[in-house]
Amino acid sequence: MGVMVAPISAHRKAGNLPADVTSYIGQRRLVSEARRLISAARLLTFTGPGGIGKSRLSLRVATEVRRAFSDGVWIVELADLTDEELVGRTVATTLGLRDQSDEPPIDVLLDYLADKQTLLVLDNCEHLLDGAAILARKLLSGAPQLRIIATSRQPLCVEGEHVLQVPPLTTPAPDADCSPASLAHYEAVALFAERAKAASAAFAITAENGPQVALLCRRLAGIPLAIELAAVRVRSLPLEQIVSRLNDRFAAGTSRATPPRQRTLRAAIDWSFDLCAPAEQTMWARMSVFAGGFELEDAEQVCAGDGIGSDEVFDLVAGLVDKSILLREGHRYLQLEPIHAYGAELLKRSGHETELRTRHQDWYRRLAARADDGWLGPDQIEWLARLQRDKGNIRAALTFCLEESGRPGTALGFVSSLWNYWIFIFGSYTEGRDYLDRALALDTEPSTERAKALWVDAWFALRRGEIDAAADLLAESRLIAERLQDTDALAVTTHFRGLIAFFRGEVPDAVTLLEEARDRYRAEDSTAGRWMALCHLVMATSTMGDYEEADAYGAQCMEMCETHSAYLSRSNALWAMGYGRWLRGDQQRAAAFLVDGLRAMRTTGDAWGVAECLEVLAWIAVADGRYERGARLLGAAQAAWRSIGASIPGMRFLVASHDRYEAVLRERLGAGRFAEALRAGGESGLEEAAAFALDEATTPDPAAAGQGMKQPLTRREMEIAELVAKGLRNKDIASTLVIAQRTAEGHVERILQKLGFTSRVQIARWVAERTAADPDHRGG
Instruction: Quick: pLDDT tens for 624-660.
Output: 999 999 999 999 998 887 766 555 655 667 888 899 9
Measure CA 490 to chain center.
33
For residues 457 and 643, the model is more confident at: 457
In this structure, of 693-702, 715-724, 743-752, the range with the lowest mean pLDDT score is 693-702
Interior/surface letters 656-672, b for 16+ CB within 10 angstroms, e for the rest: ebbeebbebbeeebeee
Judged on CB neighbours under 10 Å (0-12, 13-18, 19+), 66 is middle
Reported in sequence order, the residue ranges of 79-135 that DSSP labels E, i.e. its strands, are 119-123
Residue 537: helix, strand or coil by DSSP? helix
| Count of CB atoms situated within 10 Å of the CB of 376 | 22
Stretch 369-393: mean pLDDT, rounded? 90
The proportion of the chain whose per-residue pLDDT surpasses 70, expressed as a percent, equals 89
Q: Range with the lowest mean pLDDT among 436-445, 650-659, 727-736, 765-774?
A: 765-774
> What is the pLDDT, as a whole number, of residue 330?
84
* Bridge-based pairing state of the strands 147-152 and 43-47: parallel
Residue 323 vs residue 120, higher pLDDT: 120
Q: Alpha helices of 232-336 — where are they, by DSSP H?
A: 239-252, 260-274, 278-287, 296-303, 310-322
Q: How far apart are CA 252 and CA 250, in angstroms?
A: 5
Secondary structure class of 77 (helix, strand, coil): strand
Mean pLDDT of 248-273: 68
Burial of 569 (0-12, 13-18, 19+ CB in 10 A): buried
- In the prediction, which pLDDT does 187 show? 93
Confidence of residue 606 (pLDDT cuts 50, 70, 90): confident
Task: Quickly list H helices, 404-466.
Answer: 408-417, 422-425, 429-442, 448-463
Judge whether residue 568 has pLDDT over 50: yes
Question: Around 735, how many Cα atoms within 13 Å sit in the side-chain half-sphere?
Answer: 5
Residues 6+ apart with CB under 8 A from 433: 457, 460, 461
Identify the weakest region by mean pLDDT among 21-35, 229-243, 704-718: 704-718
Check pLDDT > 60 for residue 41. yes
Could you please report the per-residue DSSP string of 333-394? Answer: EE--HHHHHHHHHHHHHHT-HHHHHHHHHHHHHHHHHHHHHTSSSTTHHHHHHHHHHTHHHH
CB 650 within 8 A of CB 465: yes
**Closest among 555, 552, 488, 473 to 520, alpha carbons compared:** 488
| 3-class SS of residue 161 | strand
Classify 203 in phi/psi space as left (phi over 0), alpha (psi -120 to 50) or beta: beta
| Closest C-alpha to 151, from 186, 195, 110, 120 | 120
Question: How many whole angstroms from its chain centre is CA 723?
Answer: 29
Mind listing the pLDDT tens digit for each residue in 542-551? 999 999 999 9
Is pLDDT at 182 greater than 70 in this prediction? yes
Per residue in 210-249, pLDDT (tens digit) is: 999 999 999 888 999 989 989 988 988 889 888 888 877 6
Q: What is the DSSP code (8-state) at residue 163?
A: E
End-to-end CA distance of the chain: 35
The pLDDT of residue 9: 43
Cα(43)–Cα(164) distance, integer angstroms: 11
Q: What is the mean pLDDT of the chain?
A: 86
**Residue 54 pLDDT class (50, 70, 90 cuts):** very high
Per-residue pLDDT band at 690 (split at 50, 70, 90):
confident
How does residue 760 score in pLDDT terms, banded at 50, 70 and 90? confident
- Could you give the 3-state DSSP secondary structure of residue 186? coil
- Ranges 262-266, 368-372, 644-648, 747-751, most confident: 368-372
Strand partners, 327: 334
- 78 contacts 58 by C-beta, under 8 angstroms: no
* Closest to 686 (Cα-Cα) out of 96, 17, 94: 96
Sequence-ordered strand ranges (E) for 606-721: none
Element at 44 (helix H, strand E): strand 43-47
pLDDT above 80 (res 166) = yes
Angstrom distance (rounded) from CA 510 to CA 533: 11
Order of strands across the sheet that contains 43-47: 73-77, 119-123, 147-152, 43-47, 161-165
Mean pLDDT of 286-290: 97
Cβ neighbour number for residue 594 with a 10 Å cutoff: 27
What integer pLDDT is reported at residue 396 of this predicted model?
Answer: 94
Angle at 425 between CA 423 and CA 430, to 5 degrees: 45
The arithmetic mean of pLDDT across residues 86-101, rounded, is 81
Task: Report the pLDDT value the prediction gives residue 708, as an integer from 0 to 100.
Answer: 40
- Position 14 pLDDT exceeds 60: yes
In sequence order, what DSSP letters do the residues of 228-249 get, joined into one string? HHHHGGGGTS-HHHHHHHHHHH
Q: What is the pLDDT of residue 709?
A: 42
The percentage of the chain sitting over the pLDDT mark of 90, rounded to a whole number, equals: 54
* Cα gap 774→30, rounded to integer Å: 58
Residue predicted with more confidence, 772 or 201: 201
Q: Would you tell me how many other CB atoms lie within 10 Å of the CB of residue 421?
A: 23
**Other residues' Cβ atoms within 10 Å of the Cβ of residue 697:** 10
Q: Around Cβ 439, how many Cβ atoms within 10 Å?
A: 25
What residues contact residue 709 under an 8 Å CB cut-off, 6+ apart?
A: 561, 562, 565, 567, 570, 600
Residues with Cβ within 8 Å of 193's Cβ and at least 6 positions away in sequence, in order, are 184, 203, 204, 205, 213
Question: pLDDT-derived band of residue 427, with 50, 70 and 90 as boundaries?
Answer: low
Greatest mean pLDDT range, 460-464, 487-491, 564-568:
487-491
pTM of the model: 0.76
CB-based contact 51:226 (threshold 8 Å) = yes
**Angstrom distance (rounded) from CA 766 to CA 605:** 21
| Residue 306: CB atoms within 10 Å | 10
